[in-house]
Chain A
Amino acid sequence: MARYIGYRLLHAALVLWGAYTLSFLLLQVLPGDAVLVRFQDPELGLSPQQIADIRQAYGADDGVLVQYWHALLNILHGRLGQSLGMGVPVVALLKITVPLTLRLAFCSIVLAVLLMLVGSYTALLCPPHTRLGKLVRSMPPAVHSFPIFWLSILVIQIVSFKLRLVSIIDVSDWGQVMLPALTLGCYLSAALIRVMVASQDRVYAQPLYQILQARGLSLLRIWGRHLLPNAIAPVITQTGMLFGELLAGAIVTETVFGLNGLGRLAGQAVSNQDVAVMQSIIILTATVFVVVTFVVDLVLLRLEPRAREAFKIRKTP
């Protein structure tokens, strides 16, 4: 086991370094840089000499390798630097955006999983070959094909503006994520239900379940005790990926709902070419993905005897 964890840690370090370097190179390829975007903006109307002085002060014209080395050293020392675009330390930005993104991701994923369970049981009640069953199975792809942008605006218009049930302006920390989580939760559950139903239809076709039914077990019991554990593995992988993506920020939902989460911060950082912010977000996101996949693997190991077998085989050389 220790060897396995060591291997995973090494793997994680490589992923982080790769993501960091790749993003650095990609930002270098973009025309211009953060200093240019901030100070050469016509709004400031600075003269060429003034701009040259500023570029020198920021070391903006140093070689790519020198800049990369400085940036890497800083990040290894935990110095995240300052956002040039917004004039705030990156740490302060992360302190604001990360808790919000965590709250949003947590609420959305909980709702999505609950809806997934409801969807799964409903699908079980309506066998795939019936007309109703076909209808039920076509719902998740339909919902998932709505643009999330449009769905968000619709929810706000109805719930907040027409019915005036909740305000979307100036609400508490948890209150402000309720509507967006509702929207995201519904949207993501569609993806989960699709995977779940496909998997459970396949599993349920096995003779075991006819035997269970013949023995007089209730459908709820069959679903809860026998079908879910056998069919849920792909959904867990999928949930892990979605959760990781949510933690990286839901840029569209955040923009529509006026939330300043990681997604919107990342969007602004890219358009301002704010390297310090962008790199911090990438490191954070890559870490989250590494951790989430690790946790998902551990859960699957517990849940799936087959995976445990595979793990054992790999352990003995």
Chain B
Amino acid sequence: MFKSRLFLYWFAAQVGGLVLSGLACAKSVEQRVVTYLDSQAHTSLYPPAAGFYPNGMIMAQITDRLTWQDPQTLEIKPWIAERWEISPDKTRYIFYLRPGVTFSDGSALDAAAVARNYDTFGKGNKLLHLPPAEVFSNYDHSKVLTPYSVAFYFSAPSPGFLQGTSVLGAGLVSAKTLAHRFEELGTGQNIIGSGPFVVQNDIPGKEITLRKRPDYAWGPPNLGPASAAQLAGIHVIVIPEDSIRIGALLSGQADFIRDITPQDEAEIVRQHYCMYAPSTGGVSNSIAFHPENKFVQDERVRRALLLGTNRAEIVSQLFSPSYPLAKSILVAPAKGFQDYSDLMPFDPAKANALLAEAGWQMGSGGWRQKDGQSLTLTMHEAPQHPQSHEMLILLATQWRKLGVELRVISGSPGMTILDNLNANRTAMADVEVGRADLDVLSEELMAKHRNVLLQTGGQSRYAKTYTDSFLNTKLEALVSTPDETARQTIARTIQEHILEHALMIPVFEEPQVYVGTPALKNVLFEAVGRPYFYKAYFASQQGGR
């Protein structure tokens, strides 16, 4: 009975598909447009703002970068730059560009254009409100050597720069684009890149249509012979509601969707759709302590919380196999990764002992108390990360067994940002950064960058006392040591230091989950998990249906 009904549905779907394709016969079958559903709309498409997923997906299709990072080996390969020279102290980089590349407005992508891009990304432009990019640390200036070679100079060694030239935030755009103010870059048509797709139409908040650029002939050489894209275009539509995106895909109204909850994955796999869960390539999704907070100042308390967290339970209950259990601060595919699972076992007995040793005695109702005060920790959920709310609620029930109260707040974005800068209000935060280079550690931890531990010297006005000089020395060394092997050793030291002093609790390795129709083949992902449709094509005439 069940089977026959399934057959009926299948039959109905086939008939429906035939009717629909019959209706749509005017469209070219082979060069179809991909219908891509996203949960959020893009914002300002200034390249350094490409970290936001919807922005990154668009920038990956419409811009090229100087170099291409192999998502598997993480090696840096030629792209717009055919080759490069790096001074031994890593303060000067010379790139030799491939000639003949043009932006979609016809202007040439030459040394002058690259210099203009990098000067803007490296230093920002106050007049146009364009902020600098975080990946270009120590950037000083550029120099156009010949029409197709350009040099960049740094005030201090900048070993992460070569990888920085491959990230979406360093997407090359035309001079016209960089003449706009930041507030005008949310209009897709204003973003002129040299990529395999071009923005055709943009309805802010609703959809953006990309069409292929027929004369495109300079894709990353490692991806095979350069050619124009095989898709006619990509139609990105914003559908905020999870169940509607999935339903639309399963009923053939869409070809590719982003942002799948782990609970929906099983159904998608059962229906033989293709699930993609590329790693975002940087640090694990972690709980970062604010050691200046009076409750977690004591290392014993932090260690107790680390040992009292059943990370395996969180991963198995709330996530799917696409979300591996974190084994260190860095994710497993990252360079400099080492398995530090033995530094963070689940050991509630030891956790209880440590809390007692720190003076927190079990009081009435099973809550730990010291000097008449309860051990109550407060933190914000991070809605940009998957299942953040659920994860923190489960964490609260786990810590409840230790006698520790965890209060999870969900506030407006403004309130969250302000509270997360104030160690008096929040004891920790749920953090993650995606970048496939060791510099990700400095971006996450350095006071002048994201400063997740809230050390002094950062954005926080409230950070008064806490500073970890050992960590900072190592971070400085990491961003300025030219030798790659030495950098990896430093990165290991940093990870050990963080875990030994229980400054963070790594929970899971955050992927970005997408689902596509099986007919859509060869969707590639760049090193931080954004899809790249340059070589994608539809296999059968039925397309996705």
CB distance from B57 to the nearest CB of A (A): 14
Please indicate the chain A residues that have their CB under 8 angstroms from the CB of B253 in the complex.
160, 167-170
Cβ-defined contact, B415 with A168, below 8 A: no
Give the CA-CA distance A97 to B420 in the complex, in Å.
34
Residues of B with C-beta under 8 A to A83? 183, 186
Within 8 Å of chain A (Cβ to Cβ): is B238?
A: yes
Question: In the complex, A42→B421 CA distance in Å?
Answer: 11
Given A169-B37, A258-B238, A47-B448 contact (CB < 8 Å): yes
Query: Is B43 positioned at the interface, with any CB of A under 8 Å from its CB?
Result: yes
Q: Mark A156-186, 1 if CB is under 8 A from B, else 0.
A: 1100111010011110000000000000000
CB distance from B276 to the nearest CB of A (A): 20
Closest chain B residue to A86, Cβ basis:
B186
Contact residues of A with B, CB < 8 Å?
A: 30-33, 36-37, 39-48, 50-51, 53-54, 57-58, 82-88, 92-93, 96-97, 153, 156-157, 160-162, 164, 167-170, 255-260, 264-265, 268, 270-273
As a 0/1 sequence over residues 47 to 60 of chain B, the CB contacts with chain A under 8 angstroms (1 = contact) are 01101100000000
Judge if B520 is at the interface, Cβ distance under 8 Å: no
B144 on interface, CB distance cutoff 8 Å: no
The answer to whether B366 has its CB under 8 Å from any CB of chain A is: no
Which of B187, B412, B431 has a CB less than 8 Å from the CB of A87? B187
B-side contacts of A167, CB under 8 Å: 253
Enumerate 14 A-B pairs (CB-CB under 8 Å) in ascending A order: A37-B413, A40-B417, A47-B459, A57-B129, A87-B183, A87-B187, A88-B183, A160-B247, A160-B253, A162-B251, A168-B253, A255-B241, A268-B41, A271-B412
Q: How far is the CA of A42 from the CA of B251 in the complex (A)?
A: 37
Distance in angstroms between the alpha carbons of A168 and B251 in the assembled complex: 11
Least distance between B466 CB and chain A CB atoms (Å): 16
A268, B240: Cα distance in complex, Å: 12
Contact A258–B241 (Cβ < 8 Å): yes
**Residues A164 and B16 in contact in the complex (CB < 8 Å), given A46-B132, A86-B41:** yes
Q: Which residue of the partner chain, among B45, B134, B186, B243, contacts A45 with CB atoms under 8 Å? A: B134
CB <8 Å contact, A85 and B43: yes
With both beta carbons as reference points, the residue of chain B lying nearest to A27 in the complex is identified as B414
Q: Which of B183, B254, B417 contacts A84 (CB 8 A)?
A: B183
Contact A87 B44 (CB under 8 A): yes
Once bound together, how far apart are the Cα atoms of A85 and B49, in whole Å? 12
CA distance A247 to B138 in the complex (A): 52
Q: How far is the CB of B90 from chain A (nearest CB, A)?
A: 21
A96:B247 contact, CB within 8 angstroms: no
By the criterion CB–CB under 8 Å, are A256 and B244 in contact? yes
Contact A169 B237 (CB under 8 A): yes
Q: Quick check: which of B67-75, B198-206, B217-225, B304-312 contacts chain A, the rest being far away?
A: B198-206
Question: What is the predominant secondary structure among interface residues of chain B facing chain A?
Answer: loop
* Additional A-B contacts beyond A96-B204, A260-B238 (10; CB < 8 A): A36-B417, A37-B417, A42-B431, A44-B51, A44-B131, A86-B43, A156-B244, A169-B37, A258-B241, A271-B413
For the complex of A and B, 10 pairs with smallest distance between CB atoms: A87-B186, A32-B414, A45-B134, A87-B44, A258-B239, A260-B206, A82-B183, A260-B205, A43-B51, A161-B247
Bound-state CA distance A259–B419 (Å) is 33
Contact A48 B459 (CB under 8 A): yes
In the complex the two chains form, is B237's CB within 8 Å of A88's CB? no
Q: Which residues of A contact B13 (CB under 8 A)?
A: 164
Q: For the complex, is B35 an interface residue (Cβ under 8 Å from A)?
A: yes
In the assembled complex, which residues on chain A have CB atoms less than 8 Å from the CB atom of B431? 42
Query: In the complex, what residues of A have CB within 8 A of residue B459's CB?
Result: 40, 47-48, 51
Expressed in whole angstroms, the Cα–Cα distance for A88 and B206 within the complex equals: 13
B12 is an interface residue with CB less than 8 A from chain A: yes
From A93, which residue of chain B is reached at the shortest CB distance? B204
Partner of A258, one of B203, B204, B237: B237
Q: A42 to B443: give the CA distance in the assembly, Å.
A: 10
With a cutoff of 8 Å between Cβ atoms, the chain A residues found around residue B48 in the complex are 44
Q: Which B residues touch A255, using CB under 8 A?
A: 240-241
Given contacts A44-B134, A46-B131, A86-B186, contact A170 B206 (CB under 8 A): no
In-complex Cβ contact of B413 among A161, A162, A272 (8 A): A272
- Shortest A95–chain B CB gap in Å is 10
Residues in A with CB closer than 8 Å to B243 are 153, 157
B482 at the interface (CB under 8 A from A): no
Q: In the bound complex, how far is the Cα of B16 from the Cα of A160, in angstroms?
A: 12
Q: Contacts A30-B412, A54-B129, A57-B129 known; A45 to B203 CB distance under 8 Å?
A: no
B259 at the interface (CB under 8 A from A): no
Q: Write the chain A residue with the least CB distance to B434.
A: A43
In the docked arrangement, what's the CA distance between A96 and B207, Å?
11
